Structure 1
């Protein structure tokens, strides 16, 4: 599982760089969203079939497709310091919107970020860009 998450983060990092949305706190949030969605697919849905990133003028959309139609369940109150149950809370806090849709024998769990957050977000590594 860690290899798939790392590959997904690398793919996302490169896309953000190609789109000029790297080096902001929101770009780091985007990488964490990808990690959470991929980890959830690995732990609860037999793994990720596809990671899709799409962007238009207003929104970056992250979709993780897996091979089960079972919808994710957000734990009502994850306990601090206890592993598990935190992933969808993180997705909810870092994204502007998130949800799911089923199709055939699978589903996609998606999260969206407003592109203005990526374009004008706080710089995470001020001056580190070369």
Structure 2
């Protein structure tokens, strides 16, 4: 977790190396979130579907993209938005008591997976069936990611999206 070490180093006064990401109040909350829930890069993080859980999933996604992988804050915001949509769908449409979050970095792309206990596959609603305030989640995932889909598991499913990133 090189990015997190950089954050820890930035907390020390007189630290010679300045990381790309400077801690703020939100960053401190994100660090606390990762410390209490785990890192979705190392293993699936399972979050209860309680109020605030989607915000926790977003924070985890943001800290991984920026601090762990050293990618742009803009990409972190996009990833967090899509995580929020998939997490929200898992809770709202499946009645899941807990939802899993896992993140992978591969050459040229990142992949984010949200696991829930339902084997019902997600589907985009036709535009004319969408409500004024809801129904746009998968449309956002479709438009903002490069690929997305769902894989059935022996118990439940894993809904995922991928975003291309440049490897420098």
Q: Paired residue for 2:57?
A: 8
Normalized against structure 2, the TM-score is what? 0.64
Superposed CA RMSD in Å reads 2.0
Q: What's 2:144 paired with?
A: 94
Name the counterpart of 1:83: 133
Cα deviations by residue, 1:61-102 (Å, 9 ceiling, x for unpaired): 010000000011211115787122101000001100000010
3-state SS in 2 of match to 1:110: strand
Is residue 45 of structure 1 aligned with residue 94 of structure 2?
yes
Matched, 1:107 2:157: yes
**Aligned equivalent of 1:61, options 111, 116, 133:** 111
Offset, 1:21: 1.1
Structure 2: stretches of 5+ with no match in the other structure: 1-49
Specify which structure has the bigger relative contact order, considering alpha-carbon pairs within 8 angstroms and separated by 6 or more residues: 1
Provide the C-alpha distance between the structure 2 equivalents of 1:31 and 1:74, rounded to a whole number of angstroms.
20
